[in-house]
Chain A
Amino acid sequence: MFRHIFSYRFKKLLRTKEMIFWTLAFPILLSIFFHMAFQNLDAAETFQTIPTGVLADEAYEDHAFLKEVLLEVSKGSTPLLQVFEGSQEELARLLEEGTIRGYLTAGDPISLTVRGTGMSENILRLFLEELNEQAHVMKTVQEKDPASVPRLLTAIEESSALLVEKEKDTAAPSQILNYFYSLIAMACMYGAFFGSDEITDIEAHISSRAARIQVAPLHKLKAFLSSSLASYVVLMINTSLLLLFLRFVLGIDFGPRVGYLILTTFMGTFTGLTFGAFISTLVKKNENMKSAVIVAVTMAGSFLSGMMYAPMKYIVYDKAPVVFYLNPVNLITDSFFSLYYYSSFTRYAQNMGMLLLLSILFSLGSYTQLRRRRYASI
C-alpha cells in the first residue's frame, strides 16, 4: 500500500508543472539575476573617474604641490580625477549642474566644496585629507629642518601598505554568498506549497479526492505519510538540482563542508513542507489565502534574513532576536553561514536544532487536524 500511494503521488507531482516551476525554475532564474547583479561587487572594477574642479586663483598658481598631485591623478586610462580649472562663478555653476562633484580651493589647508555626501564626495574628502596631511608634513619638515626634505621625498615614493587580513582556517565567505544562501533557504521554504497540497488531498473537507481516500480501508495517517514522503523526495531532488546549478553552472564555491550544506538543505525543506501543511490545516479551503500567507511569510522571512539587503540580518538580531531564532529562512541561512565562519559546530547545531523544533511544532499542529477521522461538515 505504501509503495502504491508513494509511486502514484510521485507520478502526479512530476506532472504538475507549476509546482516544479516554483521550487526549481524560480530559484534558478533568480540566482541568474543575482549572479549578474553581483558579478562586480567583489571586484574593484566599479570605480569611475570623479570629475572635480579647482579654483584657478593666485593661491592655486602658487601651490606647486597641489598642481603636481592633480596632474598625477588625472593621468592614465582610469584616472582618479578629471580636473576642471575655473573661476568661482564657473565652478559654482558646474557644481550645481552636477557636471563636477566638488571643487578644491588651494590654501593651507586645501578646502573642498561639495553639493552632497555620496560616495564620490567622500572619496574626494578622503583624497583631500591625505593631501593636506602630506602637505602639512612637508611644511613641518621644511620648517624644522630643510635638509631633511630630500629624505622625505624619498620616503613618500616608498610608501607601502601595512595591514594584512588574518588568515583563518575556515574560509570567510565572500559578500555575495549570503545572498545565495538566502536564495537556497527561500527555495527550501517553497516546499510549503507541496505540504499544503498534501493536506488538501487528505482532508475530506477540503477536496473530494480526499473523501474517497478516507472511505477506503486504510489508515489516514499512513496514507498521508506515504504521500508526503513522495513530495519530500521530489523537493529534495529539486533543491539538489538547484545546488548543482549554483555550484557547477554559476561556479559558486560553497567551501569544504558541502555535506553539511546538503544536510541543512534537506532539513530546511522538511521545515518548509511541514509549515505548508500546517497553514493548510488552518486555512482549509481558501486557496488565495493559503497562497498569500505562504508567499508573504516566505518573502518576509527572506527579507529579514538578509536576502535583499545583507545587513538586515544583523539588525534583526540586534533589535528582535526572537524573530532571528524563529524565522526558518534565517535559521537556514545562518546554518550555512556558521558552517563556514566557525570551525566548531556549536552554532550550526543550534540552528539545525531550532529547525527541527519548528518542524516538529508544525507537524504537531497539523496532526491535531489530521487525527480527526470525522468532520463536523464537509
Chain B
Amino acid sequence: MIIEVSHLKKRYGSLLAVDDLSFSVEKGEVFGLLGPNGSGKTTAINCMLSLLSYESGDIKIFGKEMRPDAYDIKKDIGVVMQNVAIFPELSVYENIDYFCGLYITDKKTRKTLVEEAIAFTGLHDFRKFLPRKLSGGLLRRLNIACGIAHKPKLIFLDEPTVAVDPQSRNKILEGILALRDRGSTIVYTSHYMEEVETICSRILILDKGKAVATGTKEQLKAMISLGMKITFDAQDLTREQLQGLEALPGITEVQQKGSVISLKSKEENGSLERILAYLKDQNIAYNNIHSEMPTLNDVFLEITGKELRD
C-alpha cells in the first residue's frame, strides 16, 4: 500500500472537517477523492502532507509514518495545489527549475527533468514567459509542471482543472494518465464527476468529512438502485399514460417537466425496449429519446440526497 489513512479526525474550531476517515491507496492507482465544496478533500490532503495538525488518526506513506521531517518520504511526493503556487517574478522555466531543485540537487539531472516537464505540459513555447502573461489554463499547466518535474512516485493533485479551458483540461487529464503509465500513484481530488469518472480507477466519495462510499466506478454504481435513466420529448401525455409508463417492469420513477419526460429504471437492460414498445402501442409521438447510465452524481444523490455540484 502506498498510502494508509486510519481514522483521521481534523477539527477547525467547532467544525469537524474530517470525520473518522479511513482509506488506502494502492500502487499504480489513480485514486479519486470526490465530494462537493467543503466536504474535506483539501483538508484531508493537507493532513496527509503533514501541513495540517490533526486531532487523531494515523497516516502512513510508503509504509512509514508521515511526519513533517520525513524527508525520505517527501522526496518522492509531488504536489499540485489548488491555488497556483508559483513566483510571479520568475519565468516558467525558472519556476519549474526552482521547485524541482528542492528535490533534485544535481544540476545536470535537474536540467533534463525540467526540460521533460516542460515538454510534458506543452509549455515549450512559453518557457521564458513571466506568469502574468499566461492564461489561466497555461498557469495551471505550469502549476502542474512545478509539482511533478522531479518524477515523484506519489502525486497529489487538488482540483487541478478549476477555471481551465476544455483544451487544457483534456491535456491535463491525458497527462495524468501518462504519469500513471510512467509508474506514479495518483491521488486526485475534484468536484467534477466527469473527470473523476474518466481517469480514476478507484473513488472515495466524501460528504461533510465522512466517507460515504468507496470503490471502483462499477462498484459504486452497483450500490445504488438506479440502473438507467431514459428521457424523451413528447407532448400531451395523459395521466393514465404516465401511470402506464410507471407501471412498466423495472421503472421506478417517471417525471414530466414541460415536454420532457424522464424515467428511472432499476435495470440496466430491457427498459428502453419496453418503453419504446409502450409508446408505439399508445401511438405517442416522441422525439430525442436518450438513455444514460448512472453517473457518480446519481450515486452521490441517492446516498446523500444532495447533488455533487450545488
Contacts and interface: CB of A to CB of B under 8 A. Distances in A.
Interface in A163-218: 204, 207-209, 211-218
Contact of A211 (B12, B71, B85): B85
B180 to A, nearest CB: 20
Contacts of A219: 69
Nearest to B130: A15
A378 interface: yes
Interface stretch (B95-103, B221-229, B253-261): B95-103
A218 B102 CA distance: 7
Contacts of B146: 212
B51 A215 contact: yes
Contacts of A373: 50, 68-69
A368 to B, nearest CB: 16
A374 B81 contact: no
B12 A216 contact: no
Interface in A214-266: 214-220, 223
A217 B90 contact: no
B52 A211 contact: no
Contacts of A64: none
A6 to B, nearest CB: 11
A374 B74 contact: no
Interface string B18-43: 00000000000000000000000000
B188 to A, nearest CB: 17
B142 to A, nearest CB: 12
A135 to B, nearest CB: 77
A37 interface: no
A35 B74 CA distance: 56
B213 interface: no
B125 interface: no
Contacts, number: 83
A16 B98 CA distance: 17
Interface string A1-41: 10011001001100110000000000000000000000000
B75 interface: yes
Given A219-B69, A378-B46, A214 B51 contact: yes
Interface string B52-84: 110000000000000011011011010101011
Contact of B101 (A4, A15, A214): A4
Interface in B153-183: none
A377 interface: yes
Contacts of B87: 12, 209
Nearest to A216: B102
Contacts of B5: none
A375 B71 contact: no
B78 to A, nearest CB: 9
A153 interface: no
A320 interface: no
B199 interface: no
Contacts of A378: 46, 51-52
A377 B42 CA distance: 11
B99 A212 contact: yes
Interface of B: 12, 46, 49-53, 68-69, 71-72, 74-75, 77, 79, 81, 83-87, 89-90, 94, 98-99, 101-103, 105, 146-147
19 contacts: A1-B101, A11-B89, A11-B94, A204-B51, A212-B79, A212-B85, A212-B146, A214-B51, A217-B74, A217-B75, A217-B102, A218-B102, A219-B69, A223-B102, A373-B68, A373-B69, A374-B50, A375-B53, A378-B52
Interface of A: 1, 4-5, 8, 11-12, 15-16, 204, 207-209, 211-220, 223, 373-378
